[in-house]
Amino acid sequence: MADEWTVLIADDEPAARRGVRQLLAGYAEFTVCGEARNGADALAALDARRPDLLFLDIQMPGLDGFDVIRRRTPERMPLLVFLTAYDQFALRAFEAQALDYLVKPVTEARFAATMARVTRQLRAARAIEPEPPIVVTTAKGITVLRPRDIDWIESSDNYARLWIGGRSYLLRESMRELERRIGARGFVRAHRRALVRVGAVTEVATTAGGGVVARLESGATIPVSRRLRPAFSAAVRTGTRVDLT
């Protein structure tokens, strides 16, 4: 079972975000899936990206780091590491269930200690995390599907259409609800209505019209929106894949 996790960096200082990225470059199993410049952006990115780990600045314009936490239930929060230029918030940070508290500037040694704790926590959580089944109703009864077998998921209002090979299954559950329920680890959004399993992608190609599409093993071709191209390509390049075995 490969260790692959996604990271969101929320900090209003570009230099601080860049610094975390540079420090993370030495940890191949971690992929930065997004950045946020304030608390509101962080909340939106948490919903859209569903990271495994969040580096969160405390003092940001608008909603600060603690405001972000207050607006999320614990089960909807990834593993949390606070970033700050001050040390007086440490007690509040740990009361907020933060795994660690980093004071800027962060040294490589201190960051390594944090990442060791993060890795242990994530591995422990993954070890006990069951693979959530997906049960769909068919003309013959019910069929139980495994997330790791799904090629891509297509949103259709309050329904999600699950594609496996050339066959589809209609589930009476919105794609967003399904994404939250199964965790969607190993999947990445291609556009607003399509969630693609990275391991099913064989090619990301540019079309004659300047668009970008993902070609899957099944033969399906999924358009990739302009806004999501960087994150989609990054997920494919790093080989992020569904890993529920």
Distance, in Å, from the CA atom of 50 to the CA atom of 35, rounded to the nearest integer, reads 12
Distance, in Å, from the CA atom of 104 to the CA atom of 102, rounded to the nearest integer, reads 6
**What pLDDT, on the 0 to 100 scale, is given for residue 142?**
86
Distance, in Å, from the CA atom of 125 to the CA atom of 230, rounded to the nearest integer, reads 28
**What pLDDT, on the 0 to 100 scale, is given for residue 131?**
67
Burial of 172 (0-12, 13-18, 19+ CB in 10 A): exposed
In order, the DSSP letters of 38-99 are SHHHHHHHHHHH--SEEEEESS-SSS-HHHHHHTS-GGG--EEEEEES-STTHHHHHHTT-S
**What pLDDT, on the 0 to 100 scale, is given for residue 239?**
56
**What pLDDT, on the 0 to 100 scale, is given for residue 183?**
64
**What pLDDT, on the 0 to 100 scale, is given for residue 137?**
84
**What pLDDT, on the 0 to 100 scale, is given for residue 56?**
95
**What pLDDT, on the 0 to 100 scale, is given for residue 129?**
59
* pLDDT tens digit at each of 245 positions of the chain: 457 888 999 999 999 999 999 999 999 999 998 899 999 999 988 877 778 899 999 999 889 999 998 887 666 788 999 998 887 777 777 777 788 899 989 999 999 999 999 999 888 877 665 667 888 888 888 888 888 788 999 998 889 999 998 889 999 888 888 877 776 667 888 998 999 988 788 889 999 988 999 999 889 999 999 988 888 887 777 655 443 33
